[in-house]
Amino acid sequence: MSILDPKYETPPPEALQQLQLERLQALLVRLKRNVRRYRELVGDVRVESLADLARLPVTQPEDLANSFPYGMFALPLREVIRLHSAIGPEGRQLITGHTQNDIKHWGRLVARQLVAAGVTANDVIQINLGNGSSSSFSGYVLGAQTIEASVIAEDPFHIDYQLAMLQNYRPTVLITTPTNAREIATLLDQRRIDPQSLHLRSVLLSRPVTEAEQDQLQAGLFAKVQGNFGISEVLDPGFCVQCAEGHFHVNEDQFLVEVQGEELLVTTLAREATPLLRYATRIACALQRGKCRCGRTTATLVPGRRLDQRVLVNEMPLYQQQLREVLAHTAAAGHTAEFEIADRRVVISLSVSERIFDDRVRTLQSVQLEVESEFLARLGIEAVVRLVSPDRTRAAGVG
């Protein structure tokens, strides 16, 4: 049983409720004093028990997007030492700020996950999370620093280089996306490299996968595989800890979680720079309470589907609005297009109008190329353009 902070990971229920109530009451005082939006929303509501939480207003992702960039900050920018962005509703940008204490807590929370996965100061960690994940990268580095493990601060741009690094640097822990982990396992298999010749003991995935996938990766990489569940607007990683039993335990000393309808709502209890009250995560979740066989007493959650239109393209969270915006920067602007996510890329069925139609293949190819390179340049994702007759997309009702 590897538990870094027993006081906060295995508290008796009454002690946890007391701590959460104290922190929630103090949070409300600070929110009313320091954030105008919350002052207006919360008013004079008094919270005397955790059950009173339901009487408080819900923070919608749109509230954060509308107050972009710093409208929901609870401290002056001078006190904020780190800014991270996240993708909000319809691809709008959101900003999360961190003070010195926020950063210290973040490191500690991620360290809980590392310790749960058996990572120690003797381990060497390779982190490869791909495009657009600098925030998660920072979180893992902070966690590794907290437990004094070594981090390879190098980005392997190509899978061949990554494999070479795994062979040469001999990292014992790999923190990566499920897609990348699968790619490595496949490459090892194709090149007939024995996974045991690598030194991996533990693989931490950036998001949850099914049990079958986990087993498959464990066999393919010959290492223990654990997942992560985070919410980029709140904290990712560091929001919860996946234990050896496979359960996602919420770090409840820092986050108050509830499920409304089927949606997970999160209140940050100790965040200084950008505290959130009942943030609607747009993720369906089931919450369970009771002592886990791992020894932790904190709530566990089972993440479900997303409740908005966000999709993952090659592990990158995107909204359809963002895809349309990229298209608007090309010669295909204003054309009807249908998007499909397939095999780590976006397949765009572009309806060919008279404006871009040309009987020369080269002209049509240049439109295709322009769109594809624009997607790579702006979003860092691969796109494939298929030109279709206007009737087809009209029939599909997409516009």
Partner 1 sequence: MLLQVRNLRCGYGSLEIVKGVSLHVSPGEIVTLIGANGAGKTSLLRAIAGLLPPWQGEIRIHGRSVVGWPPWKNVSNAMVLVPEGRQLFADMTVWENLLLGGYHNPDRRMGIEEVFEQFPRLKERSRQLAGTLSGGEQQMLALGRALVARPQFILLDEPSLGLAPLLVHEVFAVIRQLRDQGVTVFLIEQNAVAALGIADRAYVMETGEIILEGEAGDLSRNPEVRRAYLGKSYKEIWE
Cis bond upstream, residue 171 (ω within 30):
no
Using the minimum distance from each CB to partner 1, give the nearer residue, 32 or 345: 32
Number of residues counted as binding partner 1 (CB under 8 A): 25
Among 39, 55, 104, 170, binds partner 1 (CB under 8 A): 104
Which among 28-36, 179-187, 283-291, 318-326 is the span making contact with partner 1, rule CB under 8 A?
28-36
* Least Å from the CB of residue 78 to partner 1: 6
Strand order in the sheet with 150-152: 150-152, 124-128, 173-176, 202-205, 224-226
Cis bond upstream, residue 61 (ω within 30):
no
* Least Å from the CB of residue 6 to partner 1: 13
Please check whether residue 256 is in contact with residue 266, taking contact to mean a CB–CB distance below 8 angstroms. Answer: yes
Among 22, 155, 245, 262, binds partner 1 (CB under 8 A): 22
Which among 10-18, 87-95, 233-241, 297-305 is the span making contact with partner 1, rule CB under 8 A?
10-18
Residue 125: beta bridge partners? 151, 173
Which among 71-79, 178-186, 201-209, 359-367 is the span making contact with partner 1, rule CB under 8 A?
71-79
Alpha helix (H) ranges present in 43-177? 61-66, 100-116, 134-146, 159-168
Q: Binders of partner 1 among 196-255, rule CB under 8 A?
A: none
Among 42, 65, 75, 277, binds partner 1 (CB under 8 A): 75
* Least Å from the CB of residue 166 to partner 1: 38
14 lies in the binding site for partner 1 (CB under 8 A): yes
One-character DSSP codes across 224-249:
EEE----BTTTBSSSSEEE-TTS-EE
Residue 389's alpha-carbon distances to 230, 329, 353, 356, 395, in angstroms, are 42, 21, 8, 12, 10
* Per-residue contact string for residues 249-288; x = within reach of partner 1 by CB under 8 A: ---------------------x-x----------------
Please check whether residue 61 is in contact with residue 89, taking contact to mean a CB–CB distance below 8 angstroms. Answer: yes
* Least Å from the CB of residue 270 to partner 1: 7
Angle between helices 159-168 and 178-190 (to 10 degrees): 80
Which among 23-31, 180-188, 282-290, 375-383 is the span making contact with partner 1, rule CB under 8 A?
23-31
Residue 11's alpha-carbon distances to 20, 258, 294, 298, in angstroms, are 12, 19, 13, 8
Among 1, 6, 13, 26, binds partner 1 (CB under 8 A): 26
Q: What angle do CA 199, 203, 209 make, to 5 degrees?
A: 150
5 lies in the binding site for partner 1 (CB under 8 A): no
By C-alpha distance, which of 52, 39, 70, 11 is closest to 254? 11
48 lies in the binding site for partner 1 (CB under 8 A): yes
Using the minimum distance from each CB to partner 1, give the nearer residue, 30 or 37: 30
13 lies in the binding site for partner 1 (CB under 8 A): no
Among 25, 134, 210, 373, binds partner 1 (CB under 8 A): 25
18 lies in the binding site for partner 1 (CB under 8 A): yes
One-character DSSP codes across 377-398:
HHHS--EEEEEE-HHHHHHHT-
Using the minimum distance from each CB to partner 1, give the nearer residue, 96 or 300: 96
Q: Please report, as a single letter, which amino acid is at residue 379.
A: L
* Least Å from the CB of residue 14 to partner 1: 8
With 0-12 CB in 10 A as exposed, 13-18 as middle and 19+ as buried, what is 289? Answer: exposed
79 lies in the binding site for partner 1 (CB under 8 A): yes
Three-class DSSP category at 370:
helix
Which among 101-109, 160-168, 220-228, 313-321 is the span making contact with partner 1, rule CB under 8 A?
101-109
Biggest alpha carbon–alpha carbon distance for the chain: 74
33 lies in the binding site for partner 1 (CB under 8 A): yes
Using the minimum distance from each CB to partner 1, give the nearer residue, 33 or 386: 33
Alpha carbon distance 247, 245 (integer Å): 6
Q: Residues in the site for partner 1, rule: CB under 8 A?
A: 14-15, 18-19, 21-23, 25-26, 29-30, 33, 46, 48, 75-76, 78-79, 99-101, 104-105, 270, 272
